Structure 1
Amino acid sequence: MNNNIGFIGLGKMGLPMAKNLLKNGFTVFGSDVDETAINEFKGSGGKTGMINEWIHSVHSIILMLPSSTIVNQVVDDIIELYHPAAHHGSNHLLVIDMSSSYPSETRKNGKKLKNRNIDFVDAPVSGGVKKAISASLSVMVGGRFEDYQNCKRLLDCVAEKIFYIGDLGNGHLLKVMNNYLSAGHLLMASEAIHLLADFNVDPKTAIEVINQSSGRSGSTDYKFPSFILNEEYNSGFSLRLMEKDVMMANQVFKEYDAATTLPQSVFHRFNEASAILEKEADHTEIFKFVAAYLTKKGAFK
């Protein structure tokens, strides 16, 4: 059985995911523009090299990249470099896009890859850096069911929960909606807690009550106790990436002419915060930004 995998994108999420594949006995060829990440990957037993040096030796290539634009560029590179006749193995090459990509772009990439006899699934993840390290991510897979079955062995090495969502692009669509909800919940909870604090309601007490009530969310249950109330703001997921996610959701709603203004409002606030806060600000620091506009007593620190 061919245990060779290509992994393109060794960032905060990609590197621990690639390491978990190595721990499970796969031979992983890693690629990234960051030499520090490459060196850490090599130190964990990973192999490196130009894509053209290993593309015909792997059965699958995982993409874990920061934007659809970069994914599109890499897909074009794969199409240019890959020659089916030179591929080692009986099955087609399978590309697995685990990035947070635009669903419409995913479908376009699927058509381009199909024309070159390259199989393709979208398999974005949720759970953050800590769950990437512990291999307990959730994965949403879109594409042919046969391709889903072919990549499940890999996904089991990085994820605790794997969901088959249906057609190609549906994984990315669900991920976009999940990220939109996550951002919206965090923004609304931040506004609510600031308002309550102005009425002398202790934020910790407010979060405890909300978490025993119908207003509970992932933000109140996990992000506030872990990163916000202690003022550490160190979830490992940046504000700029959250802004990008909300921008994607807003665009998806626009593409479908959805009769709603809420996605635009959520994006507007994250866009403002990204422009004002430090470049490397954590996404949980939206809580600090909310104080700048919510009430007359609020003061941005």
Structure 2
Amino acid sequence: MKVGWIGTGSLGKAAVMKMLREGERVRVFNRTAEKAVSLVKEGAILYDSPSHLALDCDIIFLCLTGHQALHDVLYEEGGILQGQKRNLIIVDISTLSPQITRETAHYLSEYNIHYLDCPVSGGPEGALAGKLTAIISGNNEAYFQAERYISLFSNKKYYVGDSGSSQTLKILNNLAEAINLLAASEVIALGLKEGFSLPTLKEVLTETRGNSIYMNILLERLMNPSKEVSASLEVRVKDLKLANELAEKNNLELLQGKLALQQFFSAERNIGKQNDQSECIKLYLKEVDINET
């Protein structure tokens, strides 16, 4: 099968890089072509539109920022549907509304296009190592055809049934991630205020029952600052909005979820939406120079 990829931000770029290193020939499109230059140097083939890419591919992966980006890539001028490619499989690793994915899958099926929602967890670093966790739902036969390619950047895969199911599970995961990150931020901030060093906090807190994956991630970011963005504050806000919308649909009030949305929205507004999610700790450490601690 000929493979295409649309959306080469930090996560998409890492996944494509992993596929190229595994010997796969990947055709790419990104709205900002400059972001795909490094992939072309590694052997990727750059296309000038989603429609042209679709004509040359049997399977296309999408890694986009939200519903509007999905709409533009599929339906607008130069979009995939203008390519009129039949028997195409689209694997969308973005995190989107379950309802949007169900509607998209139904609509595309009328064009004999199979749409799989396949959100992933693990960040760019996981993609580059081939260790993402992929949650897949949609047409079962299409999944079996796509599985080999998903495995190039994911070592854990869970097929969970009908369209939209994987997005629901990913939204639950992202809600937990956001809450855990804020909790770790509060704990570390309080520890620093009390005069403990980052090495001491890491040595002790990562060996106690209060530890979490995000405690480790945040401490690592603080001790070894990086400009690389694993997940942006903008993405966190988007994901938390989806979680709160899902709760509202089920007549459930998310106390922690609402607070997390408020906190990340404040971080996005005050720190900058394109900054890494770990920057949310600055909400608690406004006058401490973390790099000197």
Taking structure 1 as the reference length, what is the TM-score of the superposition?
Answer: 0.86
User: What is the match of residue 46 of structure 2?
Assistant: 48
CA shift at 1:196, angstroms? 3.6
2: CA distance, partners of 1:127 / 1:4: 26
1: CA distance, partners of 2:60 / 2:224: 40
Q: Secondary structure at the match of 1:94?
A: strand
Which of the numbers 91, 101, 106 marks the counterpart of 1:111? 106
User: What is the match of residue 295 of structure 1?
Assistant: none
1: CA distance, partners of 2:179 / 2:30: 32
CA shift at 1:107, angstroms? 0.9
Counterpart of 2:68, as a letter, is T
Tell me if the contact between 2:27 and 2:53 (Cα under 8 Å) persists in the aligned partners.
yes
User: What is the match of residue 143 of structure 1?
Assistant: 138
1: CA distance, partners of 2:280 / 2:227: 10
**CA deviation map 1:109-155 (0-9, x unaligned):** 11111121111111111111222222221111111322221110101
2: CA distance, partners of 1:203 / 1:251: 37
CA shift at 1:184, angstroms? 0.6
What is the aligned length? 287
Check if 1:80 corresponds to 2:81. Answer: yes
User: What is the match of residue 38 of structure 1?
Assistant: 36
Which of the numbers 7, 14, 26 marks the counterpart of 1:9? 7
Give the direction of change, closer, same or farther, for the CA distance of 1:98–1:299 in structure 2 (3 Å limit).
same
Which of the numbers 149, 152, 160 marks the counterpart of 1:157? 152
User: What is the match of residue 169 of structure 1?
Assistant: 164
Taking structure 2 as the reference length, what is the TM-score of the superposition?
Answer: 0.88
User: What is the match of residue 63 of structure 2?
Assistant: 64
Tell me if the contact between 1:5 and 1:27 (Cα under 8 Å) persists in the aligned partners.
yes
Tell me if the contact between 1:227 and 1:235 (Cα under 8 Å) persists in the aligned partners.
no
Give the direction of change, closer, same or farther, for the CA distance of 1:82–1:278 in structure 2 (3 Å limit).
closer
User: What is the match of residue 173 of structure 2?
Assistant: 178
2: CA distance, partners of 1:29 / 1:156: 18
Check if 1:97 corresponds to 2:92. Answer: yes
1: CA distance, partners of 2:218 / 2:160: 27
Give the direction of change, closer, same or farther, for the CA distance of 1:299–1:161 in structure 2 (3 Å limit).
same
When structure 1 is superposed on structure 2, of 166-175 and 264-273 the one drifting more is 166-175
Counterpart of 1:75, as a letter, is L
2: CA distance, partners of 1:9 / 1:154: 16
Tell me if the contact between 1:227 and 1:233 (Cα under 8 Å) persists in the aligned partners.
no
Unaligned runs of 5+ in 2: none
Check if 1:121 corresponds to 2:119. Answer: no
Q: Secondary structure at the match of 2:39?
A: helix
What is the root-mean-square deviation in Å for CA atoms of aligned residues? 2.4
User: What is the match of residue 209 of structure 1?
Assistant: 204
Tell me if the contact between 1:227 and 1:234 (Cα under 8 Å) persists in the aligned partners.
no
CA shift at 1:299, angstroms? 6.2
Counterpart of 2:264, as a letter, is F
Q: Secondary structure at the match of 2:230?
A: coil
1: CA distance, partners of 2:39 / 2:289: 40
When structure 1 is superposed on structure 2, of 129-138 and 201-210 the one drifting more is 201-210
Give the direction of change, closer, same or farther, for the CA distance of 1:11–1:200 in structure 2 (3 Å limit).
closer
CA shift at 1:71, angstroms? 1.1
